[in-house]
Structure 1
Amino acid sequence: MISVVVPTYNEEQNIERCLRSLADQTVPRETYEIIVVDGNSKDRTRELAKPLADKVFIQTSKRVGGARNDGAMAAKGDIIATTDADCILPRDWIERIERNFAERQIVQLYGTVYPIEDTFRNRLSLMGANAFSRFGYYTRTIYFTLGCNTAFDRDAFFQAGMYRCIDAGDDLEIAQRMRKLGKVYLDPRLKVGFSMRRYQQFGTIKSLWEWLYIVLRGGEASGATYSRREYK
């Protein structure tokens, strides 16, 4: 079984779209579970998620990495996949994850992204991100494993110590520990629709700079924050 963990916080505008895409997969619904871990939203996120998910509960650990860890600890599956509440999953997402783990000796799988808000600027931005991801993978220098499109062997995930509960870069950092336990594999055809709302509202350069600034300081930085943003 695959367990899909979806962290949420004030996502009433997006959570149904995300969960409906997860429910409409090419594999039988009973072969995977959907776990929504909510950061105590002030809107209707949990109410909207309950009819579409197998489990919905409030997180007890800190930050988005902690929400993913809470979901993993509640999961039944031997593969743990993660995505974000503002993403759209293609119909073969679960099937492709299953196939990669069945056919390859891997401990972590990740893929690429495309913009939900389909503009030239957004396509260009994510084209650069995907190129960086491929370069890092094929040169074995850095694995750009976005938390919106990744999956783990359950035992290896726990052995590695799960996600760090930091403000930014937790999804990038964990791959450096996972690679010590086995192969981390990039499947370029494992694609998810990625929301560009952060970059549209706060600006691409500013958002990337905030992320890099925090990551270079070990995931925590005074005067800067990356998670729990309020969107219009």
Structure 2
Amino acid sequence: MISVVIPTFNEEENIAQCLVSLTHQTIPRTEYEIIVVDGGSKDNTCEIARKYADKVFTQTSRKVGGARNDGVMAARGDIIATTDADCILPPGWIKRIADDFAADPRLVQLYGPVYPIEEGLRNKFSLFLANTFSRIGYYSRTFYYTLGCNTAFRKGAFIKAGGYRCIDAGDDLEIAMRLNDLGKITFDGRLKVGFSMRRYQQFGTLQSLYEWVYIVADGGETDKYSYTRKDYKG
């Protein structure tokens, strides 16, 4: 079985389309479960999620990484896939994950590219650069630019590695460094996810990237910027 873990916080405007896309996968619904781990939403996120997800509960650990860790510990699957509440998953997403892990027993982490849900040349160009960065890191074997919205793990390796660090930014990069010592990490260009550009549209691409880099360079946490739990206009 594959367990899909989704952290949420005030996502009533987006969570339904994400979960609907997960219920329309090409493999039987009995072969995967959907787990929503909420960060204390003040809107109807949890009520909406319960219509589609197998498990919905409030996180007890800190930050987004902690929410994902909580989801993993509640999961029944041997393979854990993670995504975000404002993403849209193509019908073959879970099947692709299952096939990749079945094909290589050495594989401990899998990740793929993203494409913008919103229209616009700027959005496409921004994610083209992000995907290029992912490919350069992977094929040069210098770093693994894994995104929490489109990655999967073997549960045993994830737990052995210690899970995500509970930090504001860079947790999805940092865990790959530890998992690399336990097995093989693979970038699959066919494993695509629809990614929302709302953060960059509302707060600015350059400013958002600057804040992310600043926080990562500062060890993952800083009092100067808040990269998570932001309120969006829509």
**TM-score over 0.5 (shorter chain):** yes
CA RMSD of aligned residues (A): 0.4
- Equivalences for 1:13-162 in 2 at 5 Å? 13-104=13-104, 105-162=106-163
User: Which secondary structure does the structure 2 equivalent of 1:84 belong to?
Assistant: coil
1:23 partner letter: T
- Equivalences for 1:165-180 in 2 at 5 Å? 165-180=166-181
Structure 1 position 222, deviation (Å): 1.6
Structure 1 position 72, deviation (Å): 0.2
TM-score when scaled to structure 2?
0.99
User: Which secondary structure does the structure 2 equivalent of 1:188 belong to?
Assistant: coil
Percent identity, please.
68
Question: Does residue 5 of structure 2 align to residue 5 of structure 1?
Answer: yes
Q: How big is each residue's C-alpha offset from its partner over 1:14-55, in whole Å with a ceiling of 9 and x where there is no partner?
A: 000000000000000010000000001000000000010000
CA distance in 1, matches of 2:75, 2:96: 20
CA distance in 1, matches of 2:163, 2:138: 21
2:196 partner letter: S
TM-score when scaled to structure 1?
0.99
CA distance in 1, matches of 2:220, 2:41: 23
CA distance in 1, matches of 2:95, 2:222: 39
CA distance in 1, matches of 2:63, 2:171: 10
2:13 partner letter: Q
CA distance in 2, matches of 1:34, 1:12: 17
Aligned length: 232
Q: How big is each residue's C-alpha offset from its partner over 1:65-95, in whole Å with a ceiling of 9 and x where there is no partner?
A: 0000000000000000100000000000000
Structure 1 position 172, deviation (Å): 1.0
1:179 partner letter: N
Structure 1 position 13, deviation (Å): 0.2
Runs of 4+ in 1 over 2 A off after TM superposition: none
CA distance in 1, matches of 2:134, 2:96: 19
